[in-house]
């Protein structure tokens, strides 16, 4: 068997000198206040994000409702307009005929004033 070479033991006097300036280590003290501060900051960030998302959601909901109302108004308007075009005389025939006849007469007393019904 081959014998391993002996390694000389290092003694404190044989180790390289270190100055105090480079030998400073991090403090081993626990700072509970630092943890509390970080927790408060994280809670504040969470609250701010929640508020921002809530406001953004409200804007989107308002825009969606507006779009739905406009689409519904268009659909209802088309239906009502089509129905009135087909049955105009049944609904407004007599009123319109009376206004047209009164407007075409030369007698100013029979002419209707806007906003009032003509005297019959």
Cα separation, 96 vs 80, whole angstroms: 19
Return the percent helix, strand and coil in the chain, to nearest 5: 60, 0, 40
Distance CA 34, CA 46 (A): 18
| Helices then strands, each counted (H, E), the chain | 2, 0
* Tokens at 92, concatenated: 């407004």
Splitting the chain (120 residues) into consecutive groups of 10 residues, what average pLDDT does each group show? 62 55 63 86 98 97 96 86 74 73 68 58
Model pTM greater than 0.95? Answer: no
């Amino acid at each position: 068997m081959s014998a391993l070479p002996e390694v000389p033991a290092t003694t404190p006097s044989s180790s390289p000198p270190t100055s105090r300036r480079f030998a400073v280590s991090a403090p081993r003290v626990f700072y509970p206040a630092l943890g509390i501060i970080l927790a408060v900051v994280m809670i504040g960030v969470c609250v701010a994000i929640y508020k921002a998302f809530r406001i953004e959601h409200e804007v989107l909901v308002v825009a969606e409702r507006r779009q739905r109302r406009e689409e519904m108004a268009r659909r209802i308007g088309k239906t009502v307009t089509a129905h009135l075009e087909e049955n105009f005389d049944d609904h407004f025939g007599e009123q319109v005929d009376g206004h047209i006849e009164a407007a075409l007469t030369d007698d100013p007393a029979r002419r209707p004033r806007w906003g009032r019904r003509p005297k019959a």
